[in-house]
Amino acid sequence: MTLLTFRFAPSPNGDLHLGHAYSALLNKKLADVHGGRTLLRIEDIDTTRCTPQFEAGMLADLEWLGFGWEQPVRRQSEHFAQYGAVLDRLIREELVYPAFMSRGEIRAFIADSEKRGRDWPRDPDGVPLYPPADKALPMKERKQRIADNAPFAWRLDVAAATARTGKDLAWSEFTDETLSATHPVEARPQDWGDVIVARRDIPTSYHLAVVVDDALQRISHVVRGQDLFSATSVQRLLQQLLGLPQPAYFHHRLILGPDGRKLSKSLRDTGLAALRDAGASPEDVRRMVGL
Ligand code: GLU
């Protein structure tokens, strides 16, 4: 039997809160129950928002909490060349295209289209889908704009991608925290439109780095918050395009704040460091998150 492998993959762009504590401790508990491995991955590709200070704070909080993890820790910012090689493959296979529209241009395009009575489609997060214009740009024009240093992002041509993989994509989702049963979930990557898979200066995005790393680290079980449930559709498509193995997924409940809203990294009172300073113990945190 292959070893089950779990991971907790925070982004060091703020302080860990109770929601992260639940996710980390649930991964740890499942790994322990199933005799599996627990990995920590630092998802710091956004070099403008992630800082070494936040990372140090996270490591200290996780240590305090008793989240034991294997060394070495994979830090995504140290592997841009690896993601770049995967991106090159997607470029060669014409599954991505350079998208040049700025946020302002996208807004104007959509406002114009909606003025003419057409509701513009939105992704599961409520963000308008990327307009189709750049996909139709002739190769010569694309090359010229890139040579002229125009800002752009690499976007997945989701129509070309799903034509390649076929439409029947699904993933296995566990039905509850005990991981005793799974059910198939239909992947709907088209709901996200042509998502960004890399930037001009950073040869990856969250989606690309996650699927590359989950495969490289042989993650068998992705246990993460319900807020990433819909994103799994895009990741499943990328796995299929790249011929990567598929982990099974469990998207767990979210820990909500007193106002019933999702916790954020800026909410001080549910931050782990603040709780610790106020005298809470790791056992208190476990109780607070229901573990
Ligand atoms: N880095 C992501 C976050 O902090 C989590 C990614 C994942 O678990 O797939 O929200």
Kindly state whether residues 120 and 245 are assigned to the same domain.
yes
- Same domain (yes/no): 109, 238: yes
Domain with 130 in it: what CATH number?
3.40.50.620
Q: If you average pLDDT over residues 274-286, what whole number do you get?
A: 95
Instruction: Tell which one of 210, 217, 219, 236 to mutate to probe ligand 1, the residue whose CB is within 8 A of the most ligand atoms.
Output: 210
Pairwise pLDDT comparison (2 vs 71), residue with the higher score: 71
What average pLDDT does the segment 210-234 reach? 98
Peptide bond into 72 cis (omega under 30): yes
* Dihedral, CA of residue 213, residue 202, residue 19 and residue 216, to nearest 10: 0
- Mutational pocket test of ligand 1: of 43, 232, 249, the residue with most ligand atoms within 8 Å of the beta carbon: 43
Residue 126 phi, psi (nearest 5): 90, 5
User: Average model confidence (pLDDT) for the chain?
Assistant: 95
Q: Are residues 83 and 134 in the same domain?
A: yes
Edge-to-edge, what's the strand order for the sheet holding 221-225? 74-75, 37-42, 5-8, 221-225, 248-252, 170-174, 182-186
Q: 197 CA distance to ligand 1 centroid (A)?
A: 16
- Do residue 206 and residue 238 come from a single domain? yes
Q: Among positive and negative, which fits the CA dihedral 51, 56, 58, 59?
A: positive
Q: Given the CA of residue 10, which atom of ligand 1 is nearest to it? A: 4
Do 83 and 166 have their domain in common?
yes
- Residue 55, phi then psi, degrees to nearest 5: -65, -45
User: 136-147: string of b/e by CB count within 10 Å (b at 16+)?
Assistant: ebeeeebeebee
268 — pLDDT class (breaks 50, 70, 90): low
Structural domain containing residue 21 = 1-75+257-291
Together in a domain, 13 and 64: yes
pLDDT exceeds cutoff 70 at 267: no
Q: Is there a single domain that holds both residue 213 and residue 271?
A: no
Do 112 and 225 lie in a common domain?
Answer: yes
Q: What is the pLDDT of residues 120-131, one digit of tens each?
A: 999 999 999 999
Q: Please indicate, yes or no, whether residues 126 and 161 belong to a single structural domain of this protein.
A: yes
The string of pLDDT tens digits covering residues 97-138 is 999 999 999 999 999 999 998 899 999 999 999 999 999 999
- How many structural domains compose the chain? 2
- With 80 as the cut, is the pLDDT of residue 39 above it? yes
Q: What's the gap in Å between 246 CA and the centre of ligand 1?
A: 17
Q: Which of 38-42, 204-208, 252-256 has the lowest mean pLDDT?
A: 252-256
pLDDT at 14 over 80: yes
Question: Does 177 lie in the same domain as 52?
Answer: no
Alpha carbon distance 266, 16 (integer Å): 9
CA–centroid distance, residue 26 to ligand 1 (Å)? 15
For ligand 1, atom 4, the nearest C-alpha belongs to 10
Rounded to two decimals, what is the model's pTM? Answer: 0.95
- Same domain (yes/no): 1, 25: yes
Asked if residue 44 and residue 99 are part of one domain, the reply reads no
Q: Report the 3 state secondary structure along the chain.
A: CCCCEEEECCCCCCCCEHHHHHHHHHHHHHHHHCCCEEEEEECCCCCCCCCHHHHHHHHHHHHHHCCCCCCCCEEHHHCHHHHHHHHHHHHHCCCEEEECCCHHHHHHHHHHHHHCCCCCCECCCCCECCCCHHHHCCHHHHHHHHHCCCCCEEEECHHHHHHHHCCCCEEEEECCCCCCCEEEEECCHHHHCCCEEEECCCCCCHHHHHHHHHHHCCCCEEEEEHHHCCHHHHHHHHHHHHCCCCCEEEEECCCECCCCCECCCCCHHHEHHHHHHCCCCHHHHHHHCCC
Distance 228 CA to ligand 1 centre (A): 8
